[in-house]
Chains A and B, each alone.
Chain A
């Protein structure tokens, strides 16, 4: 019989499955929608043109 996960292993699994508990559902849903709609745009072009470009696409 395999060993039961420790609390630490359970916490790690929960973090990997659900993400950081500091993030609330509204922020999570907004970022997932942003990712789904791929709104950042011009990703590679921005990187190649500007090494210090951030992800805050207008």
Chain B
């Protein structure tokens, strides 16, 4: 299983897999990665349904504001044959544990998103794939090899 960051998740939803992602691998994202996409998507959908202007206008919101509801719903409710959203229940306890068992702590021992993705890779015997090298938190970059988890970087474009 390939655990995607939000760059790759978006890429596979809107334009399919980049050629370098193995065709036979199952793709998944964690709930906290999905959250990063849900917030701007709902900002547009919900304010649109209320007939009001969105109060938040980031780059993502602007794209969604120019898109129809069914298009936005492809992000809110991804086709599981494209990318699965994992159940966080078996992941969070493991994520918290992985965030404390470290020998090289950074400012914090990983974010929720980073640790949940790392836990997903451990729990599902998968690998972490990111759309940009700088999307890999330093803590996760240190911790993943200790756990035998591969980190892959792939250009999402």
Q: In the complex where A20-B78, A27-B66 touch, is A44 in contact with B10 (Cβ < 8 A)?
A: no
Contact of B60 among A38, A47, A51, A57 (CB under 8 A): A57
CB distance from B93 to the nearest CB of A (A): 16
Distance (whole angstroms) from the CB of A51 to the closest CB of chain B:
4
> Chain A residues near B57 (CB, 8 Å)?
58
Given the interface pairs A20-B82, A47-B114, A48-B111, the reply to whether A54 lies near B131 with Cβ below 8 Å is no
Query: Of A12, A35, A57, which contacts B10 at CB under 8 A?
Result: A35
CB neighbours (8 Å) of A7 from chain B are: none
Interface size class of B (residues with CB under 8 A): 35 or more
Check if B63 is an interface residue, CB within 8 A of chain A. Answer: yes
Q: Are A17 and B10 in contact (CB under 8 A)?
A: no
Contact A55 B15 (CB under 8 A): no
> A interface, by DSSP: helix, strand, loop or mixed?
helix
Residue B43 interfacial (CB < 8 Å): yes
Q: Given A22-B73, A43-B134: A56 and B40 within 8 A (CB)?
A: yes
Q: Considering the complex, give the chain A residue whose CB is closest to the CB of B5.
A: A43
With A35-B157, A43-B135, A56-B59 already in contact, the answer to whether A19 and B111 are too (CB < 8 A) is no
> CA separation between A39 and B79, bound complex, in Å?
26
Interchain Cβ contacts within 8 Å, total number? 130
A7, chain B: closest CB distance, angstroms:
13
Evaluate contact between B63 and A34: CB separation under 8 angstroms: yes
The one of B58, B81, B82 in contact with A56, judged by C-beta atoms closer than 8 angstroms, is B58
User: Is the CB of A1 closer than 8 A to any CB of chain B?
Assistant: no
B89: Cβ under 8 A from any A Cβ: no
Chain A minimum-CB-distance residue to B27: A16
Residues of B bordering A, CB below 8 Å: 6-7, 10-17, 23, 32, 35-40, 43, 56-61, 63, 66-68, 70-71, 73-74, 78-79, 81-82, 106-108, 110-114, 131-132, 134-138, 156-157
